[in-house]
Structure 1
Amino acid sequence: MCDERQLAEMAKNSGSMSGDSMGAGAMNRRSFAAMGGAALLAGCASGNEGATAQEAAATATGTGAAVTRSEVSIPTPAGTADATFYHPAEGKHPAIIMWPDIASVRPASQQMAERLAGEGYAVLHPNPYYRSVKGQQFADFAGFMNDEGFSKVGPWREQNTPDAVMADTRAFVAWLDAQDAVDTARGIGANGHCMTGSWTFYAAAAVPARVKAAASMHGGGLVTDSPQSPHRIMQAGTSYLVAISQDDDAKQPEAKTALREAAAAVGAPIEVIVYPADHGWTVLDSPAYDRAEAEKAWAQMLALYAGL
């Protein structure tokens, strides 16, 4: 997972971190708008409504598929989680729980969730900090970095223990399985970036009968000494994709072997891939965003979810 020192290095390598120019790697606001971010921002203006009484807006994704978007509230043991639910306008589809990175829900993460829905999935995009705050907290990753994001989210992150994430997953799976747009005959996928990469492992451990695919994108803390280390709780019935950045691999080169050995021990299929890009490369508004390598990781993720 990225830390303040790593973010400082990302900013140094990317140049200016202003909202209009995040350096060569990041998808800046002008580019984001050109790819449909402006329309997504307009859609975010709608209020939070219940799943059974909402005005869902149909939008067009890059694939040309019509996607329905709705703001939902999901009861959990800790309270009520706010989330956005995206799914193709017609039919039933495999569900994906797609958590954002440390900067939480924002237009860039929402665009990624919407794109995945356009590929034929029912995508739940939860606020990872709902125990502390509701809704969007930062306009983009530049805002997170320029507005003391680490200090702000620190207390919120502490509440997301492995047990808390697993409890959330159970609630999310139950909610998803009650939705008309979800094909309950298919498995559920989990997707996480940065701090939430490890959450995909916890999701599979929480509901192994339903969560059948876990994709961690530059996830942190996958191999630790804790009894609850993600690599210690892998499930035989879940397929895993672990996409590692080159700088994270340099810091913990032994993690690759530990993950593969842990998967083999329980008979879980796994792909561990080190990409020639830095931490955060898959996230649209990250200063480390690398479009070419992000598209490769996206294709690998879709191949994983095709098996649901």
Structure 2
Amino acid sequence: MPTATLSIPTADGQADAFAAFPEHGEQHPGVLMYPDGLGIRPVLREMARELAGHGYYVLVPNPYYRHGPAPVIELPEHIGAEVRPAIFARVMPMIEAHTAERILSDADAYLTFLTSRPEVGPGPVAVTGYCIGGLLAMRTAAAHPGRVAAVAGFHCPVAADGPDGLRRLLSTLTARVHLGHAETDITPAALDELNNAMDAAGVVHTSEIYPGTVHGFTMSDTDAFNAGALQRHWDHLLPLLGGTLITG
């Protein structure tokens, strides 16, 4: 599986990124994959390679590039409960510095770079994300309705600024959506409200709580990992992409 470390021009400098893509040389649909709050690391590279193996060019940017190249902070091979407080004490200031203006500016740069790659075919792309990356994915899709055909988010917030922010986001969203929620992240009542809002906005979607999960369930290097839920994630993500992106 070919991979590459790349540099994406943005308004604020060069964002480092990881890409994975099929071995054969023809063009493939593009997927922008946002990492979770802990950033690019081996588990994200492995997930990008897994997705690329299904026929996609997968670009994983470092959202924290303003603070340095990935890994911005040193991480252990396994991120257990005993180290999480110290890690998030360092990560949260970077997340808080990633303003809405920066999110949208970066999204435009990432999509422009992705669609200009010689390995990426014409047509719309997809965006997927994990944890805070799911929020970035949703905002990217809403800001680029003509370029993003599908968006997926897993154990992620959907809108960070309440019901009004959710309505604004959904008002411009044309992509098909899948959201996989952790049991610890959303109540059944809140899920109903979210799904009703997407129905009212005319957003084509699936949105469900993955049973028996906690926040971070896709990440195999954390205590939150749930192998069955990770497979459920693939079982939703792959048909979503296959039904919306142009394949060769």
Normalising by structure 1, we get a TM-score of 0.72
* Residue 239 (structure 1) aligns with: 176
Question: Does the 8 Å CA contact 1:281/1:290 hold for their aligned counterparts?
Answer: yes
* Residue 216 (structure 1) aligns with: 153
* Residue 21 (structure 2) aligns with: 87
Tell me, yes or no, if structure 1 residue 150 matches structure 2 residue 88: yes
Separation in 2, partners of 1:196, 1:256: 19
State the 1:226 CA deviation: 6.3
1:267-286 equivalences under 5 Å are: 267-276=202-211, 277-286=213-222
Task: Map Cα deviations across residues 147-199 of structure 1 (whole Å, 9 max, x no partner).
Answer: 711111122112212221121111111111111110122x2111111111111
Partner SS for 1:247: coil
State the 1:258 CA deviation: 2.7
Question: Does the 8 Å CA contact 1:169/1:203 hold for their aligned counterparts?
Answer: yes
Question: Which residue, out of 102, 106, 110, partners 1:164?
Answer: 102
Question: Which residue, out of 175, 180, 185, partners 1:248?
Answer: 185
Partner SS for 1:103: coil
Separation in 1, partners of 2:41, 2:162: 33
Percent of residue pairs identical:
30
Separation in 2, partners of 1:87, 1:110: 11
* Residue 58 (structure 2) aligns with: 123
Separation in 2, partners of 1:223, 1:150: 18
Question: Does the 8 Å CA contact 1:107/1:139 hold for their aligned counterparts?
Answer: no
Question: Does the 8 Å CA contact 1:86/1:122 hold for their aligned counterparts?
Answer: yes
Partner SS for 2:60: strand
Separation in 2, partners of 1:99, 1:164: 14
Larger Cα-atom Rg: 1
Task: Map Cα deviations across residues 85-134 of structure 1 (whole Å, 9 max, x no partner).
Answer: 11112211111111111111111111111111111111001112111121
1:1-308 equivalences under 5 Å are: 67-89=1-23, 90-136=25-71, 137=73, 138-142=75-79, 146=83, 148-185=86-123, 187-220=124-157, 222=159, 224-225=161-162, 227-229=164-166, 232-234=168-170, 235-250=172-187, 253-276=188-211, 277-306=213-242, 307-308=244-245
State the 1:225 CA deviation: 2.0
Separation in 2, partners of 1:254, 1:160: 30
Kindly tell me: are residues 145 and 82 of structure 1, through their superposed partners in 2, closer, same or farther at Cα, counting changes over 3 Å? farther
Structure 1 stretches lacking a partner, 5+ long: 1-66
State the 1:244 CA deviation: 0.6
Kindly tell me: are residues 158 and 145 of structure 1, through their superposed partners in 2, closer, same or farther at Cα, counting changes over 3 Å? farther
Partner SS for 1:243: strand
Question: Does the 8 Å CA contact 1:103/1:140 hold for their aligned counterparts?
Answer: no
State the 1:221 CA deviation: 5.0
RMSD: 1.9
Partner SS for 2:185: helix
Which range moves more in the overlay, 80-89 or 156-165? 156-165
Kindly tell me: are residues 265 and 107 of structure 1, through their superposed partners in 2, closer, same or farther at Cα, counting changes over 3 Å? same
Kindly tell me: are residues 176 and 221 of structure 1, through their superposed partners in 2, closer, same or farther at Cα, counting changes over 3 Å? closer
Task: Map Cα deviations across residues 251-272 of structure 1 (whole Å, 9 max, x no partner).
Answer: xx43322322222233210101
Question: Does the 8 Å CA contact 2:141/2:173 hold for their aligned counterparts?
Answer: no
Kindly tell me: are residues 227 and 79 of structure 1, through their superposed partners in 2, closer, same or farther at Cα, counting changes over 3 Å? farther
* Residue 64 (structure 1) aligns with: none
Separation in 2, partners of 1:201, 1:156: 19
